Amino acid sequence: MTTGIRGRFISFEGIDGAGKSTQHQWLVEHLRAQGREVVATREPGGTPLGEKLRALLLAEPMQLDTEALLMFAARREHVELVIRPALARGAWVVCDRFIDASMAYQGGGRGLSTTRLSQLAQWTVGDLKPDLTLLFDLPVDIAMARLFAGTQNPDRFEREQAEFFERVRATYLTIAASEPHRVRVIDAGLSLSEIQVILENIIASL
Ligand code: TYD
């Protein structure tokens, strides 16, 4: 980056029902209150085309490879049109899910080849990685109970069985163990205010 003012890239991850979306909103407000330009975005989605792909991904039955390819197609639009330009002008990007979600859901959950997914990742985003990933971790039974309590019309992923989410969760935790400097595991069973104190401390150290 020629300006030397590249912003920060923070991603939120976790199994469905872990409560990351509430915390995502909170962190965006917290950073804005500090006077920063914050781009709040999500995957799949974040661009007009990406949001159309999201609607298909969450609703339409499809081949597992098709699902992975559409996730990465949406991501390519998002990275080129939103994330890289925002970071280049010094904004902070706070993204609800990124590549780790593909590794956890399509790799761990669906069982697709990690090598292939890594090749797609390299093609799609090159060496772009979040500076910080907040992994909201919760036992699957608790997350599923929260999901059933809070969701009227579960989407294609939310309708999956507990075993699927166990594999997703295990993959997330493996990623976290292999990249402890980037990925911070947050106990999503703590109260909202306890989690917010933890987030404040992590952000202060960024
Ligand atoms: P999610 O963040 O759970 O949206 P919401 O909170 O509005 O339900 O994301 C939608 C789903 O997409 C989620 O179940 C995980 C899935 N997903 C993947 O399978 N792979 C990916 O690469 C991404 C980004 C998401």
pLDDT in tens, 30-80: 999 999 999 999 999 999 999 999 999 999 999 999 999 999 999 999 999
| Number of helical H runs and strand E runs in the chain | 9, 5
pLDDT tens string 162-185: 999 999 999 999 999 999 999 999
User: How remote is the CA of residue 21 from the centroid of ligand 1, in Å?
Assistant: 11
Report the pLDDT value the prediction gives residue 181, as an integer from 0 to 100: 97
- Residue 157 in contact with residue 105, Cβ under 8 Å? yes
DSSP H or E run through 129: none
Q: How crowded is residue 55: how many other Cβ atoms within 10 Å of its Cβ?
A: 12
CB of 101 closer than 6 A to ligand 1? Answer: yes
Q: Shortest CA distance to 192 belongs to which of 15, 27, 13?
A: 27
Compute, in angstroms, the gap from residue 18 CA to the centroid of ligand 1: 12
State the closest ligand 1 atom to the C-alpha of 109, by its place in the atom list counted from 1.
Answer: 19
Please list the alpha-helical segments (H only) found in 114-159.
114-125, 140-150
Whether 164 lines ligand 1, by a CB cut-off of 6 Å, is no
Q: What is the dihedral of CA 165, 170, 171, 173, to 10 degrees?
A: 130
Rounded percentage of the chain residues whose pLDDT exceeds 90: 94
Ligand 1 atom 23: residue of nearest CA: 101
Check if 43 has its Cβ closer than 6 Å to any atom of ligand 1. Answer: yes
Distance CA 13, CA 27 (A): 14
What would the pLDDT profile of 83-117 be if each residue is shown by its tens digit?
999 999 999 999 999 999 999 999 999 999 999 99
Would you say the pTM of this structure is higher than 0.85? yes
